[in-house]
Every structure is written in structure tokens, then in C-alpha cells.
Chain A
Amino acid sequence: MRVFRSLVLAAACAFAPTAQGQIAPLTPAPAQEPAPAVAPVAVQTPRLLHFVQADYPPDALTQGLDGSVLLALTLDTSGRVTDARVLTAIGHGFDEAALAAARGFVFAPATRNGVPVEAVLRYRYRFNATVARAGARSDVRAVLRGVVRGSGEHPLVGARVRAVTPAGPPREAVTDSAGVFRFDFTIAGPVTVTVTADGYAPGHDTETLGDRDDVSVTYRLVRVTTVAAHGATAGAQAVSPGRSEDVAGEAVVRAQRPAREVTRRELDFEEILRMPGTGGDALRAVQNLPGVGRSITGLLIVRGSTPNDTQIFADGTNLPLVYHFFGLSSVISTELLDRIDFYPGNFSARYGRAEGGVVDLGLRNPRSEGVHAVANINLMDASVFAEGAITHDLSVAFAFRRSYIDAVLGAVLSGTDVNLLTAPRYYDYQALVDYHPSRRDHLRLAFLGSDDQFALVNNRPNDSAPRFTGEFSTAEGFNTGQILWDHTFSSTVTSHAVASLGRNTISLGAGSVFALDLAFWQYNVRYEVQWQVSRILRANFGIDLTGGPATVTFTGGRMPTMAQQQTLPTNTQSAASFSTNLFRPAAYAELEIAPVTGLRFIPGLRVDYAGDANHTATVSPRMALRWEFLHDWIFKGGLGIYTQPPQPQESSGAPNLYNPALTVGNPFLGFERAVQYSLGLEHSFTDYLNASVEGFYKTLDDQVVPGISPLAEPYNNGGTGRIYGAEVLVRHRLSRRFYGWIAYTLSRSERRDPGETGYHLFQFDQTHILTAIASYRLGRGWELGARFRYVTGNPVTPVIGAYLDGNLGTYVPIYGPTLSTRVDPFHQLDVRVDKTWTFTRWNLDLYLEVLNVYNRTNPEAVQYSYNYTQSSVVGGIPFFPNLGIRGEFQ
């Protein structure tokens, strides 16, 4: 997820003829099109003459970390590097190593009409642990591989690639069905490459391979007819510009180890930033991935599970809140995210207390050189972000966002019976201090916070709920401090520790009907040791502890669970004020076994304990497998047990003040449990295009459901369920101009309550979920994107009649079979247009995002007249344009 965000730089880099890595001049710009007839300018970009091999950071090599550091190099007219700085830092010692090496580079200077000129160029320094290790233990010292493409970007099959080195005989390769070729060299140095294919002009280039380099290139050939039509200039284009690797596209390469999970979906920053319909919000972008259901309120519905079955982490710290009001934006700035790892199921033993999925947000390290700032303003909110280095080892970052929906809604409500007490608004902040005290240690201190406030007075009682009058209020927030420590004990043993302490609060009120106040001092401690036992075996051990004191007061009806039927009674009054001290430790162990190349086998075991789950413990064995059985064909599978403790109010033994003989919860509740199975296949058709298909099956046991009688246990573990389906993802990663994907999920989620003989649909069941996203860079700073979604309508329970509750004067529906019908399907088209202006030190992006372009009334729910004799659907977001501007400075 580490990326470079400057469009102009990316565009410039896309045409750079290079030696090793990706080189792109900033000034002067290279000529890309046939020179105009008037005042032709001949520009020669810098060419690397002397490459300096960076020292691979030993800790990173031990951990098997790859990475690429994007540098900005300033060259004088002699081609020497006069200044070098890191544009995108990735930590782990890569940045320093890349800088040190790049400062020793020597280039043939850039020229304009044959005259040497100064130039600033971007250089991507790559680190590849596999190659580095291979070089260390075998005779392979460098790798050159890539794709040959023709016009229209399609891969050229059967193209002949000839590589000539100063020493050794010429070598040849023929591209495969994906246009891919590869050479392994036993010595580093310059390589002259010639690419030929029938019907195309041959292409020539020279690559300089450093020791232990793994260079990936794309050559583009020009059709002979095209050359003829455009004359010699166009023909020349066929030679050198073949090297058009896109910097933005490459920016997704980041320091990471192979996944320990069956399925991990990653999003690229550049994709997120301009993804239609998400407002550039990273967590909202997750909702476009396979396996994620649609929710107007922004809840994460993963593979048919309840939203609270999915855990959200920020570097190991459980976040109590993911989105602000109605999912308008997430509570963590996208600018601060290094990665979003989304695990729809069968996740590693390092994660627990979740039956559904996991979203793990990685906060990035602030850049270690220079200053970088971003400001973003749109119709919903405004945000600022800044980062910079204090010293070489110490850097900081800060982000803040605040909404101003209050002003909009205040105007809407003016003159009605509704008065705002607290205008709806949200804000969030993040502050990071990053410190590298030694080569073996990395420390980071983070402060994260969020606050949502909303209160209004409704003076006009609702016709169907007269007591829903008076004050409605909601206040929700958290403030958390987190410290992270990465330590390298030796070349084979590393550790990762993170601890956090924060206060989470919720306050909800609805007239005289319901009130809730919750305050929770939550701590999280996670410590993991990773031990590379041998080349084929790696062991991970860890502890994972969370808990803290919480106080809860509430009055109102008994709290429903998400899985309950609508026909179960919930209107019995509850009132309670209690404190509890949650204590939920866990320990886990996991092995990563790679007996042969391409095969990874990951058994794991996790033990969870929860004092609030009747002091019980669960043992959860898990297994994952990834096997590259053919080149770019990966088979994957997983099997495991996943448990989740009940919610505190469900397991509380505090007396119900309305009837002290009863408790508000059931203190004898145990863990909820799921068994997850998955099998899948992944294939990369090209460097950019890949596809995956995965089937999943989940059984749910011991689900918490409300008791049938208000005088019996309020909740019990009697619920069961099953969820099954398949996910397909066809994705074109961000290339020079285009990215997009089609995600499709077919699933069925069912539950069975106590006493039921068969399964009924679950309220979050969505049979078909189709998301198609595409974005294209038109050139001259213009980018156009669109997103289309189709989702099966949510199940609803039909109302077959109603009766008057003579005690309240309101009508109560009589339901038919539970969730036996559906509202109409949801489909919506969103578009986004960006226009970017690029200046020397900053760029400006003006964007317009239009939601629901054809203004479809998508049914979110069914609403009824006061006595349920008339009904209509409640529509979702109508046609909504959102205009914004984003400036980035560096």
C-alpha cells in the first residue's frame, strides 16, 4: 500500500527509458509523441551508467521482506546525483539503504537538443529477498523478467527476447501465453535486450542489473505499419519507450511477507484515492470487495455474518468504531494507512474473538525525509494531514478530519418541528511519532480518536410511535493511545509488540423509550515472536490480551441480538446499571511450512479465555494451504474453528431493576462458535490481470439468541446457522492508465432459532452481490471512473396484519413467515471525475463524485402507515453529487 501519490510524477515516469529500476525524469519531460513539425525539441532522458548495489537490510532479509523505495534524485549537468530524497518510505531499513546506494549513482546527463541540462528524476529501488537469498546461496545473481506487449496493451505471445551480456553467450527466450519471459544471470552487469515479433518493429534496450537484483520490465512494440505511417520518429519510439512501467502501478509493491491466510485482499492506495462512490475513503473501499455485503449504514457484513462478527484492528488494537454516521467516512485517515488487509474468512490464528472476518489496518510510518502534507475539502467534511522528519530517526505525522453536515442538516430542518440541540458532526484525529533507536528496534507511539455527536428534539410525535418524541441523541467516540515496538533479536528471531489503552464511550437516547450509557476503558496487548527455524519452517507464537473495566447503564426494552427473529418478544422493560471487568486473554501458535517451492502449509492453534463467557476457554485449531502448482496458478484452502465471546450486556448477571429476581443477561452464556471451510484458485493472466475464485462454507453453533419468555433466561446459546457461497474476483491492477475489477459473490446465510425445525434466511442474506469498478486516466490530468453495483434485495418479514396495542394507542404488526420475502434488488451507478493540476512542489485535484447517477429509488426497508394497512419502500441515497478538492504538498 505504500505509494507515491503525485499524478504528474507518475505520468512522467510512465515513459522513462531506464537502466535498472524505474527511472523517470521530472524535468525536462521526455518526448512521447512524434515530434511536431514546428520547433522540434530533442530530449534525451538520463541513463544510468554506474549502479551501486544497496546493502540488503539484514533484518528485512531475515524476515523475508521485499520492498521498493521510491526516490527523487537531482542530477547536475554532469549526471552526478546532487540530492536524493525518499518519496515513499517503507521502513525496515530499506529507505536508508536505498538512499545510500543512490547517492553513488552516476548517470549520462539529460540533454535538450544535445545540451546537458539538470534533471530531477524518480528512481524506484527494489529489494527482493528471494533473489537476494538465492544469490547468497546459489549462482543466480540477478533476474530480468517481464512482459512484452503490443498495441492495445495485449501481451505478445511468441515474441523473441534476446539478452546479450559482456560475458557469456547470448541468451534467448520466447514469451509464453501471457507474454512473459525471464532470464536468470549468474553475473550482474549491463544487458542488451532485443525484442522481436512478427508484424512489429524490433525493440532494443539496455538494462543494468545490480547484484541480487530482480528487475521486472514491460516492453511495448510498435506495429510496423504504424512505424511507417509515423515515419522515423515513431519508429524510434519503438525502441526505447518500450520501458513504460508505470510508477503508480508499481507503488503497490510493499514490504510484506507472504500471507498466512487463505485469502487476503489488498487495495492499492491510488485505487482507493479515486475509487468512485467511496469518497477516497479506504475503509469504504473495502465494501467493494467480494464477500462484503451492502449496508446503507456502513456496517461490514462479511460472508453473511452479523457486523459484530467482524473485527477491525489498527495494528493489533481493536477499534470500537469503524465508520462515522451512516458510514459516511471511516475513523482513520486514509493518508495514514499503509495497508488494509481484509480477511473474509479462514484467517490466521493471530486473530480471534470473531466468527466472521477481519480487517487489519496498518498505520504507516511517517516519511523519514522531508515534509508532506495533504488537505481535502468536500461537501461532507474537511481533512488535513501532515508528516515529516524531525531527525533521521524520528518522524511524526498528524491527521484531522471534521464534518460539517450540521450546517446542511440545520438548514434542512429549519422551520420544522425538529430542533437541533447538538448539530450532527463528527471528527477524528490520529497522531504518530515514529522512532528508530537502533537498527534492531523500531518504536511508534500513536494516538487515535474519534467523536460523533448528534442530538435533536422532535416536538411532533410520530403517528406510529408517539413516545418517540422529545430528545434523540447519540454520542459515540474513542480515544486510544498505542505503542508499538518491533525488535530483532537475531537474524532468525524477531518480535512485534503492541499495547494500547483507550476509553470508548457510547451514549444513546430516544425519547422516553430508550437510554444507554457505556464507558469502557479498554486495553489491548499483543506480543508475537517470529522465528525462522529453517529454510522451510517458520514459527510464530503470540499472546493477545484485551479487556478492561466497563460501566453500563440503560433503560428500555431488552436489547435484541442481531440474529434474532422479529417475532421474539423484546419489549419487556429492562433497566440496569452495572460494572464489569472484561478479561479476555488468548495465546496462539502457528507454523509456516514450505517444504517445496510454491507450497505453503500453515497449521495454527489458538486458545481463548473469557471471564465473561462463564469463565470458559476455547481451543481453535486452524489450517491454511497455498500451493502454486503451476506458474501463476495457486490453489488455496482453509479449515478452522473460530469463536467469539458473548457481548457484555448479554452475559451480565446484573439484576434487571424492573424485576430484581431477573438478570439483564445470562451469566452462563458461553462462546459462540463457527467452523469455516474454504477452497479456492488464483491465477495471474498478466502482470496486471488476475482472477480468483473461492468457495466457502460456515457452520454456526452456540449463537446467542434471546429467550422466548421474559421470565426465563434472557439469552441462551441455542442459535445455529449455516452460510455458504462462492466469490469471484477478476481484477486489473492499476497500470499506467487503468484499473478495475469485477467482484461477484453468491451466498446464502441462514439461521435456526431454538424450537425451529428448519432454517430461515438471515436478515443480512444477499444472494447476489456484483460490483464492477473501472477507472481510466484520460491524460492531461483527467481521470474518469465508475462503479456499478447490483445486490439482491434484503430479506424482510411480511406484515400480514396488525392489531392495536390499547395500552399505548399504537398499532403492532402481525408478521408472516420470518424473512420470507425480499425488497427489490439494489442497483446503482456512481461516477467520479478528477482533474489534477501539477506544480513543482504540489498538486491539486478537483473531483466530482456523483452517487446514484440515474437516481434509482433503491429500497432499503419497507415502511408502513400508522396502522399497517398501507406500505411503501424507504429509498436509499438519491442522486447526490459531491464536489471536493484535494491538495498535496511535498
Chain B
Amino acid sequence: MNRRWDLRRARMGLLVLSVVGCATDFDPAWLIKHYRVFGARIENITRMPTDPGAVEGAPGERMHLSLVQWDPTVPQRTIETVWVFCATPMVMGNTFGCGGASPVIATGTDVDYVIPPRGFGVGSTYNPTVTALSYSCAGGSITVTPGDPVPRCVGVGAEGWLMTRTITVRTSETVPINHLPAIADVVLYPGVDATEAPVSLDPMNPVHVPRCVAGTPCARHLLEIRPASDAREHYLGYNAAAQQVDLVELLQFSFATTGGTLDALFRVDTAQIPDGPIRDTWTVPSTPGPVTLVLTAQDTRGGFDDALRTILVD
């Protein structure tokens, strides 16, 4: 009966091979080399006065979406953003848009959206959802061509990115609401052994670090994301034995930079190292100037937070 699993076994084998180091010389994911969209922060405006940070909403409630992006081009280009909200299911690549239903369209990197009363699609966990689709274009204009499954960013040197995001619709208030995993602080440890006192990276007062000088090893520092104490929430889910159990969110953090090098894009507080420090090693560049760090935190249930920090390389 189990021959059908052969293919999964084969795919797992290929995946394991890629995990254990069969990568090629692609641009590293942590390097912000081109215009890039990192995600969208969603907050329930209606509930904000009493329940800040809620990322789910009931019909009739107003949600605020804020695009998290960075354009490393100097000077930064004009960003054009279009949002499409679809209450009906959408399959990418086959039907761009809302599958025939009339979408709600908004423009700008920060938009509001009021959840309609009915007619929702379902998300991967069968919850009612609204799909938000954004298309951002840096240095050009957005063009949608009939027959082309994706919109295009047209213009000399223009770069664009498509993003989908789902808003979970609450149909019952008995289930605990999900909140975004707030990033409380971002600190830098001089060196890689975290023995010296960390420096908090203040977005308003960038720290200074010396650049890498030829002939000497480049300095390496630890970056650490410190989530808020209540960032990891409990929820009902299924374990590997398919039993419904009380689970704690596994948070996923990303580090990206416009300068220097990082060890990895993602860090995940896995079951093997719960509550461990979320750190990445940053090697300073040899080129002086400002370096932008884009740091994100996600709970994979719709919660998203971000932090932009600047380090001045002298």
C-alpha cells in the first residue's frame, strides 16, 4: 500500500541533499542587492485601542496593511504600489486577480481595508481568509497585460515584486486572537562571543563601526533580535501524531543587509533551541557608508513585525 510514498521519499532525498550543502553560487538571500519586498505588517485598527497588535479581524473591522520594503539604489526611487484584495480563492499563475470576482483595489505602501461581511475563501488551515495581493514597482510603472499571468514593472532599470498576504477572518470570538510577534529590540555585540556588553541599535542614532581594512581580518559582530516577551503565543494545532494539542508558536526571524556579510537569512527558534537567542553574525564591509539592516519576525499564522536599523561604517 505504501508505494505511493516512494515519490515523497525521493523528494525528501533531494531536499536533504539541498539542505546539507549542495547550493550553488546564487546571490545570498541576506544581501539586499535589488529592490525588495519583505512582507506586510497587518494590524487591526478597529481593535487597536483595546487590543494592540491583533492581526486578525472580524467582518466589518478595519485592517491596516503596511508594506515592508527597501530599495538599496541611491538615490532611492519612487515606489508605486497597488493592492488587490480578494475575498474569493486565488490561484497564482492561473488567474491573476480575484478569479472573476470584483476586487477591492488600493494604492500606496500603507492602506486600510475593511473586511466584508461574507464570501470568503479558505487558507491553508481552512480558516476563512481574505487574500491581499500587492505589486510594487521601483523606478517604473505597473502594467497588467491580458494573457500575462503576472503584472509587470515597466521602465528603464525598474524593479518590481509581487506579494500575497492573507488576512484571517474571525468567525468566532472563542478562539484566542493572534497578535504580531513584536520585535522589542535589536542589539549588536562587538565580536562574536557575546562577552562584551551589547549595543542597542537605535533607529534614530546609528552606531558607528570601523570598516574592514585590507590586510587584516574583517571584524565580525553578533546581531541579535530580541522579541517581546509575549511574542510567542499559544494556539491549538496538531502535532506529528495528528493529535490536537496546545502548541507554542515557532517564530521565524530574518536578517538582511545592504552591506557586509551575514551568515544566513533566516533564524528559527526551533524546537531544538526554544527561546534561544536569535543571532546572526555580521562581518563589516570594507566600504564606508551607511548599512541598512532589515529585520523581520513572523509567526507564520499572519503575525509579522519588522525593524529597520542603520549602522554607519566609518
Contact in complex: B18, A416 (CB < 8 Å) = no
Whether A100 is near chain B, meaning CB under 8 Å from some CB there, is no
Contact in complex: B13, A325 (CB < 8 Å) = yes
Whether B266 is near chain A, meaning CB under 8 Å from some CB there, is yes
Please name all residues of chain A whose beta carbon is closer than 8 Å to the beta carbon of B29 when the two chains form the complex: 463-464, 865-867
Please name all residues of chain A whose beta carbon is closer than 8 Å to the beta carbon of B162 when the two chains form the complex: 801-804
Contact in complex: A320, B238 (CB < 8 Å) = no
Residues in B19-42 with C-beta less than 8 Å from chain A: 19-24, 26-30, 37-40
Contact in complex: A466, B126 (CB < 8 Å) = no
> With A515-B240, A658-B238, A801-B150 as given contacts, are A307 and B7 in contact (CB-CB < 8 Å)?
yes
Please name all residues of chain A whose beta carbon is closer than 8 Å to the beta carbon of B239 when the two chains form the complex: 555
Contact in complex: A561, B19 (CB < 8 Å) = no
Contact in complex: B242, A577 (CB < 8 Å) = yes
Q: How far is the CB of A270 from chain B (nearest CB, A)?
A: 30
| B129 and chain A: residue at smallest CB distance | A807
| B133 and chain A: residue at smallest CB distance | A803
**Separation of A763 and B196 alpha carbons in the complex (Å):** 56
| B1 and chain A: residue at smallest CB distance | A648
Whether B226 is near chain A, meaning CB under 8 Å from some CB there, is no
Q: How far is the CB of B204 from chain A (nearest CB, A)?
A: 26
Please name all residues of chain B whose beta carbon is closer than 8 Å to the beta carbon of A39 when the two chains form the complex: none
Chain B 241-269, CB-CB to A under 8 Å as 1, else 0, gives 11110000010101000000001111110
> With A467-B268, A801-B162, A803-B162 as given contacts, are A561 and B4 in contact (CB-CB < 8 Å)?
yes
Whether A659 is near chain B, meaning CB under 8 Å from some CB there, is yes
Chain A 541-558, CB-CB to B under 8 Å as 1, else 0, gives 000000000100111010
Contact in complex: A866, B26 (CB < 8 Å) = yes
**Separation of A554 and B241 alpha carbons in the complex (Å):** 7
**Separation of A518 and B29 alpha carbons in the complex (Å):** 37
Contact in complex: A711, B164 (CB < 8 Å) = no
**Separation of A142 and B3 alpha carbons in the complex (Å):** 50
> With A416-B20, A472-B16, A577-B241 as given contacts, are A518 and B5 in contact (CB-CB < 8 Å)?
yes
Chain A 805-820, CB-CB to B under 8 Å as 1, else 0, gives 1111100101100000
Whether B214 is near chain A, meaning CB under 8 Å from some CB there, is no
Whether A522 is near chain B, meaning CB under 8 Å from some CB there, is yes
Contact in complex: B124, A647 (CB < 8 Å) = no
Contact in complex: A320, B3 (CB < 8 Å) = yes
> With A458-B19, A508-B8, A659-B126 as given contacts, are A806 and B93 in contact (CB-CB < 8 Å)?
no
Contact in complex: A517, B15 (CB < 8 Å) = no
Q: How far is the CB of A407 from chain B (nearest CB, A)?
A: 16
Contact in complex: A567, B93 (CB < 8 Å) = yes
Contact in complex: A806, B264 (CB < 8 Å) = no
**Separation of A325 and B238 alpha carbons in the complex (Å):** 29
Whether B161 is near chain A, meaning CB under 8 Å from some CB there, is yes
Whether A575 is near chain B, meaning CB under 8 Å from some CB there, is yes
**Separation of A515 and B242 alpha carbons in the complex (Å):** 9
Residues in B80-110 with C-beta less than 8 Å from chain A: 89, 91-94
Which of B24, B252, B272 makes the CB contact (< 8 A) with A471?
B272
Which of B17, B165, B241 makes the CB contact (< 8 A) with A553?
B241
**Separation of A512 and B8 alpha carbons in the complex (Å):** 16
Residues in B140-166 with C-beta less than 8 Å from chain A: 149-150, 161-166
Whether A504 is near chain B, meaning CB under 8 Å from some CB there, is yes
Which of A418, A506, A812 makes the CB contact (< 8 A) with B20?
A418
Contact in complex: B14, A808 (CB < 8 Å) = no
Contact in complex: B4, A809 (CB < 8 Å) = no
Please name all residues of chain B whose beta carbon is closer than 8 Å to the beta carbon of A413 when the two chains form the complex: 20
Chain A 491-528, CB-CB to B under 8 Å as 1, else 0, gives 00000000000001010111110011110101000000
Please name all residues of chain A whose beta carbon is closer than 8 Å to the beta carbon of B22 when the two chains form the complex: 874
Residues in A393-443 with C-beta less than 8 Å from chain B: 412-413, 416, 418
Whether B296 is near chain A, meaning CB under 8 Å from some CB there, is yes
Whether A800 is near chain B, meaning CB under 8 Å from some CB there, is yes
Q: How far is the CB of B163 from chain A (nearest CB, A)?
A: 4
> With A576-B242, A803-B162, A808-B298 as given contacts, are A476 and B9 in contact (CB-CB < 8 Å)?
yes
Q: How far is the CB of A15 from chain B (nearest CB, A)?
A: 48
Contact in complex: A555, B242 (CB < 8 Å) = yes
Contact in complex: B242, A460 (CB < 8 Å) = no
Whether A562 is near chain B, meaning CB under 8 Å from some CB there, is yes
**Separation of A504 and B5 alpha carbons in the complex (Å):** 13
Please name all residues of chain B whose beta carbon is closer than 8 Å to the beta carbon of A151 when the two chains form the complex: none
Contact in complex: A462, B19 (CB < 8 Å) = yes
**Separation of A458 and B266 alpha carbons in the complex (Å):** 13
Contact in complex: A518, B243 (CB < 8 Å) = no
> With A463-B265, A657-B238, A815-B93 as given contacts, are A710 and B126 in contact (CB-CB < 8 Å)?
yes
Whether B197 is near chain A, meaning CB under 8 Å from some CB there, is no
Chain A 169-201, CB-CB to B under 8 Å as 1, else 0, gives 000000000000000000000000000000000
**Separation of A648 and B2 alpha carbons in the complex (Å):** 8
Which of B4, B126, B304 makes the CB contact (< 8 A) with A658?
B126
Which of A454, A577, A582, A865 makes the CB contact (< 8 A) with B243?
A577
Q: Would you mind naming 14 contact pairs between A and B with Cβ atoms under 8 Å apart?
A: A308-B4, A462-B19, A463-B28, A464-B29, A472-B12, A517-B240, A559-B4, A801-B162, A803-B92, A803-B162, A863-B24, A870-B26, A874-B14, A874-B22
Knowing that A517-B241, A577-B241 touch, tell me 12 more A-B residue pairs with CB under 8 angstroms: A299-B7, A308-B6, A458-B19, A463-B28, A510-B12, A555-B242, A567-B91, A577-B243, A801-B149, A804-B37, A863-B24, A870-B26
A contact set with B: CB distance below 8 Å: 295, 297, 299, 306-308, 320, 325-326, 412-413, 416, 418, 454, 456-464, 466-472, 474, 476, 504, 506, 508-512, 515-518, 520, 522, 550, 553-555, 557, 559-562, 567, 569, 571-573, 575-577, 582, 647-650, 656-659, 662, 709-711, 800-809, 812, 814-815, 860-861, 863-867, 869-870, 872, 874
Counting from the closest, the 4 A-B pairs by CB-CB distance are A515-B240, A865-B26, A806-B165, A803-B162
